């Protein structure tokens, strides 16, 4: 929590900063990308880079938008309907200001919401994305300010909700994405996924030096775990007459093919 408090209280905290070749407005009490490498890592993982990039299309939901950099970048890349949500009302305003700054206010809207609470029941998106507050806090931790919500998740309650609800908010063929880090409890996240009937696949990862640490950031796809087929009962076998020809050997059932792990990319 020290980084959160330092970022909020710094008297030289900028009102405008530059990232990926663009200027961005930063309001007080909003997660500040200049104090953390994680937002730049998110831009890299999502392919929102400077210069030519693969055009995007469809709809995009950013949960926990902060300054709105990801939501605005999605619109600039070609997404035609973008919604940015945050539990912090200052962040909702900040995202709207940056949409105006970059000329995409007609395609980017922002809304005050705790995860999916403020969405219409039938709203679906081609991409649902959350750069999570991946640091695990004790389940009984009480936030001292809304700014702290961007840094820690008590008992991973928000992560549990996201794993369950995010895949339900995608269009057919859409993707629910989670930005996580090895500063979080990856084993705990997988345990929650198993309990919730969810599968986690690392699509890409990068390592970034933050101070003295080399931190891994991962883009994870969240999907419904495949349902196992019920075991098939073997049919009763009658004893063959003594004169019958010997039965041939049956082919064994193939084992499940393991999924190849995504190879991490490293920088720095």
Contacts 24+ apart (CB under 8 A), 250-259: 259/201
Give the phi and the psi of residue 126 in degrees, each rounded to 5: -70, -35
Q: Which residues contact 119 (CB under 8 A, 6 or more apart)?
A: 83, 85, 111, 113, 169
Cβ-proximal residues to 130 (8 Å cutoff; 6+ apart), any chain: 62, 63, 64, 162, 166, 177, 178, 179
Residue 53: per-residue pLDDT: 61
Q: Each residue's pLDDT tens digit in the chain (268 positions)?
A: 455 455 555 667 899 999 999 999 999 999 999 999 999 999 999 999 876 666 688 999 999 999 999 999 999 999 999 999 999 999 999 999 999 999 999 999 999 999 999 999 999 999 999 999 999 999 999 999 999 999 999 999 999 999 999 999 999 999 999 999 999 999 999 999 999 999 999 999 999 998 889 999 999 999 999 987 565 554 444 444 433 333 332 333 223 333 334 444 444 4
Sole residue written with tokens 């305003």: 93
**What pLDDT score does 2 carry?**
54
Give this prediction's pTM. Answer: 0.82
Give the model's pLDDT for residue 222.
Answer: 98
Residue 175 β-bridge partners: 127
């Amino acid at each position: 929590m020290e980084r959160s408090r330092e970022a909020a209280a710094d008297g030289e905290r900028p009102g405008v900063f530059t990232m990926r070749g663009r200027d961005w407005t930063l309001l007080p009490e909003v997660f500040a990308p200049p104090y953390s490498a994680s937002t730049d890592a998110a831009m890299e993982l999502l392919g929102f880079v400077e210069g030519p990039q693969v055009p995007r299309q469809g709809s995009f939901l950013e949960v926990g938008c902060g300054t709105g950099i990801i939501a605005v970048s999605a619109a600039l890349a070609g997404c035609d309907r973008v919604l940015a949500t945050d539990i912090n009302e200052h962040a909702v305003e900040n995202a709207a200001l940056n949409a105006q700054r970059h000329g995409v206010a007609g395609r980017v809207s922002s809304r005050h919401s705790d995860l999916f609470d403020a969405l219409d029941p039938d709203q679906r998106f081609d991409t649902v994305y959350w750069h999570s507050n991946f640091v695990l806090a004790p389940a009984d931790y009480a936030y001292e300010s809304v700014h702290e919500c961007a840094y820690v998740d008590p008992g991973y309650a928000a992560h549990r909700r996201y794993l369950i609800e995010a895949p339900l908010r995608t269009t057919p063929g859409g993707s629910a994405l989670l930005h996580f880090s090895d500063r979080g409890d990856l084993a705990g996240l997988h345990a929650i996924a198993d309990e919730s009937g969810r599968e986690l696949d690392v699509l890409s990862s990068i390592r970034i030096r933050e101070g003295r640490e080399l931190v891994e950031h991962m883009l994870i796809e969240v999907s419904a775990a495949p349902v196992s087929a019920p075991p098939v009962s073997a049919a009763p076998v009658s004893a063959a007459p003594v004169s019958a020809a010997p039965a041939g050997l049956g082919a064994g059932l193939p084992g499940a093919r393991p999924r190849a792990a995504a190879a991490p990319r490293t920088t720095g």
